[in-house]
Structure 1
Amino acid sequence: MKSRLHVHVGTLRQLEILLAVHDHGGISDAAKALYLTQPTVSMQMKKLSEAIGVPLYNISHRKVVFTDEGLALVKTAVEVLDSFARLDMSLSNMRELKSGTLRLSVVNTSQYFIPHLLGPFCEHYPGVEIQLKVGNREQTMERLKRGVDDFYVFSHPPQDTDTESIEFLDNPLVAIAYEGHPLANKKHLTLKDFRDEAFLIREQGSGTRHAVEAFLRKHNMQLNIKMTIESNEAIKHLVMSKLGISILSAHTLTYGGQSGLIKLPVHELPIDSHWFFVWSKSKRQTLIAQKFLQYVEKEGRNILHTELSRN
């Protein structure tokens, strides 16, 4: 059976008074230190003793002498009040963003620009720890359903969950090929021009795959899919190795490098999509999460747009 002693110990204020009586060696000096009257201190000590069920101290030669039970309670009172002091300091640090953790779960493609967004935020708040989980859309959706993180980054926000979101960056999907590809010198292309080319596509469950398939359905088009790959970087290297063409986020080139690659000027492209920060309505936002969202809306967007304009 669990102990119910804490129900009878009394208030934190009574514990503070207890420590004052112990540390100052008497009722009178404790009352002066706490700016209370002697009867008030005596009454609170009496209530605390009655709540515990044993005397906490005796008066001997006008001095307070604590019993063994009283000394045990003094030791516990120190631990309890010290715990609250540490909590107060911790909460104060969190309010000032000197400590705490920001948890983000992002889809693979966003890993190219998310560091550029986090960098200035971490400079502002160096005491904040960042936990960053990178996965495909399906994996990130699963974390959203479990409410693991503060924010989730998608190019296509989920429609069937209890969430809120903000759009913060364009995410154009473009066709890429190696520089010497036969289509690379064409100034005007259509989807029909490369539907027979070997096409490299992201895996099922990825946001890019989701967008490409929706785009192809809209245009009633099928491509010659030769390979399914779970990595944007792997697709880029396979394209550079002349194993096919692909459609990827322009950010994989802007931030990830495009040496040896070229964007194909396809009339129907780019696929127009956007990046969103998503969070669960049911999860209470921490102070750090609130500050990060403000940062994204006020500064983050401009930082990323500036980065893109330079590239």
Structure 2
Amino acid sequence: MNEHALPFHVTAQQIRIFNAVCRHKSYTNAAEELDLSQPAVSVQVKRIEDNNEIKLVEFIGKKLFLTPAGEKMCQVCDNILQQLQDLNENIKSEQTVVKGELKIAMVTPAKYFIPYVLKAFLNKYPEVHPNITVVNRRRILGELKNNQYHLSIMGRVPPELQMDAYPFFKNELVVVAPPTYKPPIKGQIPIVELADEKFMTREVGSGIRIAAEELFSQKGIRLQPYMELGSTEATKQAVMAGLGLAVVPRQAVRIEAKYDHLKILDVEGFPLNRDWYVAKPKDKVMLPPAQAFMDFLKEVDINRLLAMSDTR
């Protein structure tokens, strides 16, 4: 092979034109098929010949014939157009069939209900392969900027990021205590009564911590963390160990509360209702698995899925 050979110069439009000329053996009929003028077809064939210093067609009398180079060119054009057609069909098929990877980032409290949603979703779309990353809020904000995920699940959508977000589930935050905890009064506990309690909290920047601090602040109370923990699971375990109280999602403690491993307190202002959001970067192309999962979140009864799972 000559390493210094010049490349063959031809455009996609010229390939289509020459393919039509090959099939019709006529500039006039090729022009009618392509909705072009006969001179336009003739000019484009001549440009292919001149740009590549070859002869593709010849006229004997008034009849068009392909030269040997033209015959080879005709075969190549057929192959290229068939490959483009196959590519187009494959791409369209991939855009309609719900299968392939689904990359989701979610903040840690979502792990207490999203797996049950995923199970129901995969029953419907078994060819989807989820790739789930569980991170704290601070990390998810950084990674979303790098377009690493198809979708993200979070309680607060950061306004500084350009995101399309849709609420799909109510997140009830509750105050939990060890099973041996004795409330200061009977009935509903005024929030001011908890001002001196030892509270386990998430790290600074956590959506749960922000929501709890806002509510306490409205009552003139500054929530002083006794201990900061990096996950909802660690917070829950600390409460069960008797280290203090905490504000956590109800979904995260439904099993423990059911079997009296901890208790949910009746506190003024609680449960604190927040929305869970499914979000994607603005203008991001939604692949079928991501679009199907977003639609599924909007229609599924998550509370029913959780109730069906609580058989332990």
8 Å Cα contact 1:198-1:226 kept in structure 2? yes
Instruction: Compute the displacement of 1:296 (Å).
Output: 2.3
Instruction: Count the aligned residue pairs.
Output: 285
Within a 5 Å distance, the mapping from 1:16-35 to structure 2 comes to 31=23
Instruction: Compute the displacement of 1:224 (Å).
Output: 4.6
8 Å Cα contact 2:19-2:77 kept in structure 1? no
1:305 and 1:268 map into 2 onto residues whose CA distance is 22
2:151 and 2:6 map into 1 onto residues whose CA distance is 40
1:305 aligns with 2:303: yes
Residue by residue over 1:272-291, the C-alpha shift from the partner in whole angstroms, topping out at 9 and shown as x without a partner, is 21111223333343344333
Give the equivalent residue in structure 2 for 1:181: 181
Evaluate the alpha carbon distance shift between residue 162 and residue 179 of structure 1 in structure 2; reply closer, same or farther with a 3 A threshold. Answer: same
Give the equivalent residue in structure 2 for 1:290: 291
Structure 1: segments with no counterpart, 5+ residues:
19-26, 32-36
Q: Give, as a single letter, the amino acid of the residue that structure 2 aligns with 1:305.
A: N
1:92 aligns with 2:103: no
2:153 and 2:244 map into 1 onto residues whose CA distance is 29
Within a 5 Å distance, the mapping from 1:246-257 to structure 2 comes to 246-254=246-254
Residue by residue over 1:93-142, the C-alpha shift from the partner in whole angstroms, topping out at 9 and shown as x without a partner, is 33122x34333222111121112222232232222332322212222223
Evaluate the alpha carbon distance shift between residue 86 and residue 15 of structure 1 in structure 2; reply closer, same or farther with a 3 A threshold. Answer: farther
Give the equivalent residue in structure 1 for 2:230: 230
Give the equivalent residue in structure 2 for 1:21: none
1:249 and 1:4 map into 2 onto residues whose CA distance is 67
Structure 2: segments with no counterpart, 5+ residues:
31-40, 59-64
8 Å Cα contact 1:216-1:222 kept in structure 2? yes
Evaluate the alpha carbon distance shift between residue 75 and residue 248 of structure 1 in structure 2; reply closer, same or farther with a 3 A threshold. Answer: same
Residue by residue over 1:1-37, the C-alpha shift from the partner in whole angstroms, topping out at 9 and shown as x without a partner, is xx9947525445368679xxxxxxxx7xxx4xxxxx2
8 Å Cα contact 1:112-1:256 kept in structure 2? no
Q: Give, as a single letter, the amino acid of the residue that structure 2 aligns with 1:232.
A: T
8 Å Cα contact 1:184-1:262 kept in structure 2? no
Give the equivalent residue in structure 2 for 1:121: 121
Give the equivalent residue in structure 1 for 2:270: 269
Give the equivalent residue in structure 2 for 1:102: 102
Evaluate the alpha carbon distance shift between residue 256 and residue 157 of structure 1 in structure 2; reply closer, same or farther with a 3 A threshold. Answer: farther
User: Larger deviation: 152-161 or 164-173?
Assistant: 152-161
Give the equivalent residue in structure 2 for 1:38: 25
8 Å Cα contact 1:102-1:288 kept in structure 2? yes
TM-score (norm 1): 0.74
1:267 and 1:171 map into 2 onto residues whose CA distance is 17
Instruction: Compute the displacement of 1:229 (Å).
Output: 0.5
Give the equivalent residue in structure 1 for 2:204: 204
TM-score (norm 2): 0.73
Give the equivalent residue in structure 1 for 2:10: 8
Percent of aligned positions with the same letter in both sequences? 22
1:241 aligns with 2:241: yes
Give the equivalent residue in structure 1 for 2:35: none
8 Å Cα contact 2:184-2:193 kept in structure 1? no
Root mean square deviation, CA, Å: 3.8
**3-state SS of 1:102 partner:** strand
8 Å Cα contact 2:257-2:264 kept in structure 1? no
1:100 and 1:127 map into 2 onto residues whose CA distance is 6
Give the equivalent residue in structure 1 for 2:155: 155
2:212 and 2:224 map into 1 onto residues whose CA distance is 13
Evaluate the alpha carbon distance shift between residue 64 and residue 104 of structure 1 in structure 2; reply closer, same or farther with a 3 A threshold. Answer: same
**3-state SS of 1:105 partner:** strand
Q: Give, as a single letter, the amino acid of the residue that structure 1 aligns with 2:114.
A: I
Within a 5 Å distance, the mapping from 1:210-225 to structure 2 comes to 210-225=210-225
Instruction: Compute the displacement of 1:171 (Å).
Output: 0.8
